[in-house]
Structure 1
């Protein structure tokens, strides 16, 4: 089983198109050019030919260009992407579906019933795609059952509900329910190894701990270093926790949580452009190295 990181940044990417913070300026023209990142997405494959795209980032076109395993194969119109799975209906995780509209076959889309409802009402991408390639929506269970997509042999995932609000456009914005946001437990049949993936993690609730304890790889939310980072750096009005993300530091932060799982390979993904860990020479990145925690980058490959 292979996990390929297509995009490792939070919404807006790094650098963000309208951000003139010092870190974004350096990512455009200075010493952080090599740290540029597209918006969060991974792909899974059990045979290196058929890939399950997990989240369709607005940057999907560039991500396909940068990842040869996703190139067309065989037929004139074809793709290494065999199916799509959505962990939520956030704009930075679903907008890329529009770029896949030229598929010759209806796109298999795995998502929770709550996400499907959002994508048929508040942001009706699924309805729009009916006029192009169409979709075949496959509902994800939220009761601990695993899913083995027929389109991607050897891939097995277990959806795990996470506490989170639906997106601002959702009719259910103020009425969060299970299925608005999920994490994935990714199992390799061949090796017996397991990964836990959650790019949007606002709280580690008791039902998540057994999954984390059994994981060989933990690939989780690293959006901000501090809870008040957005306000301090770019004048934001919400804390990381208010946006549904655990900050890395502070009481109950992600670093404290990851400290309980030293035997796993621990990797941070969904990194916001304000986060100092994007600078490899920063004190914050040095602290992560001391703790044995990695920062995901576009093109990173993880073998289970």
Structure 2
């Protein structure tokens, strides 16, 4: 299984267009040792030719232009237009994970895999799917969600050697969703992807509000973890003067722990034996964006990597 990181930043990317915080301003001035990041999305493949897109960020067109593997490259006698992106799986209905669908409107009908509540949000509160029906069209595939039962796997057509499982996880529905404050199973999922040919397994959860026993069990089954790296601390946005909400209010578990003394993402990852432990969906306020920071050294001591645009992982 091949994993390609198209974007590794949180909403707004890094540096964020309207932000002059210490990190965003420092990257522009060259005083912060870091990399620019587009908004988070990855693609997975079993053969390096056909790909499944996991989330479609607003930066998807730029990301495709930056990654030849996702570009059209027909044979001389082949079709002038085509795409190796065969399907899209959505983790949630957040704007920074779904609005890239509009940039795919020139292609064939979108093979879209989403839970019922995500489909509902994208046909009502943020009606992207009715709009797309007037362009490329959308073929929606219902995602079964694993809760207490663990038989909710599904296949994506054309990817016979990959088995996918959608796992319901704690998090928040989008602010525009009618159940923003009334969580519904399927508002947020993680994805467990198993390569049946090699036995290697990926666990992808760019938005994760907490790691309980159920989430930890799935994480312990994976060889590679790509999980929520949005914030370092619970009050990061407040301390930086960038917002009024805490990490938990936005559905994210910070690396250093919650305001209530609960363990953070670092401690959770320490309880797994995955070969690769990678943080993704990094907010522009997170000090781990500075590759020379004390926080990056702390991650390195725990064997935790930070995803970057263009990162490739083979399992």
TM range (shorter): over 0.9
User: 1:220 maps to what in 2?
Assistant: 227
**1:204 correspondence with 2:207:** no
> Equivalent residues in 2 for 1:97-116 (5 A)?
97-103=101-107, 105-116=108-119
After TM superposition, the structure 1 stretch with the greater mean CA deviation from structure 2, 232-241 or 113-122, is: 232-241
Runs of 4+ aligned structure 1 residues displaced above 3 Å come to: 31-34
Q: Secondary structure at the match of 1:116?
A: helix
How big is the shift at 1:171?
2.1
1:146-185 matches, within 5 Å, as 146-185=153-192
- CA separation of 1:263/1:111 partners in 2, compared to 1, >3 Å: closer, same or farther? closer
Bigger mean CA offset, 108-117 vs 143-152: 143-152
2:120 to 117, 120, 139: 117
1:285 corresponds in structure 2 to 296
Where structure 2 has 5 or more consecutive residues not aligned to the other structure, the ranges are none
**Residue in structure 2 matched with residue 15 of structure 1 by the alignment:** 15
SS, match of residue 180 in structure 1: coil
Alpha-carbon separation, structure 1, partners of 2:158 and 2:288: 37
Q: Kindly state the Cα deviation for residue 210 of structure 1 after the two structures are TM-superposed.
A: 2.0
**Does the CA-based 8 Å contact 1:44-1:155 persist in structure 2?**
no
Aligned equivalents of 1:31, 1:2: Cα separation in 2: 34
**2:75 paired with 1:66:** no
For the residues of structure 1 that align with 2:253 and 2:242, how far apart are their CA atoms?
A: 19
Matched position secondary structure for 1:64: helix
Pick from 96, 99, 108 the counterpart of residue 95 of structure 1: 99
Match for residue 307 of structure 2 among 273, 277, 296: 296
Q: Is the 8 A contact 2:254 2:264 kept in 1?
A: yes
Q: Which moved more, 1:276-285 or 1:156-165?
A: 156-165
Taking structure 1 as the reference length, what is the TM-score of the superposition?
0.96
Contact kept? 2:34, 2:289, Cα under 8 Å: no
Superposed CA RMSD in Å reads: 1.3
Task: Give the equivalent residue in structure 1 for 2:270.
Answer: 259
Residue 35 of structure 1: SS of its match in structure 2? coil
Deviating more after overlay: 79-88 vs 142-151: 142-151
Q: Which moved more, 1:192-201 or 1:21-30?
A: 21-30
Match of 1:44 in 2: 44
Q: Decide whether the 8 Å contact of 1:52 with 1:85 is kept in 2.
A: yes
Given that 2:247 and 2:254 are in contact with CA atoms closer than 8 Å, whether structure 1 keeps it comes out as: yes
Greater shift, 228-237 or 204-213, is seen at 204-213
- Change in Cα spacing, 1:135 to 1:151, as seen in structure 2 (3 Å) is farther
For structure 1, which segment, 151-160 or 171-180, has the greater mean C-alpha deviation from structure 2 after superposition? 151-160
Determine whether 1:272 maps to 2:283. yes
Change (3 A) 1:81 1:32: farther
Describe the superposition over 1:223-266 as per-residue Cα deviations: whole angstroms up to 9, x where unpaired.
11110000011341111111100010034111111111144311
Q: What is the number of residues matched between the two proteins?
A: 303
Calculate the TM-score normalised by the size of structure 2: 0.93
Distance 2:134 2:46 in 1: 32
Contact map agreement 1:45 1:154 (CA 8 A) in 2: no
CA distance in 2, matches of 1:151, 1:91: 28
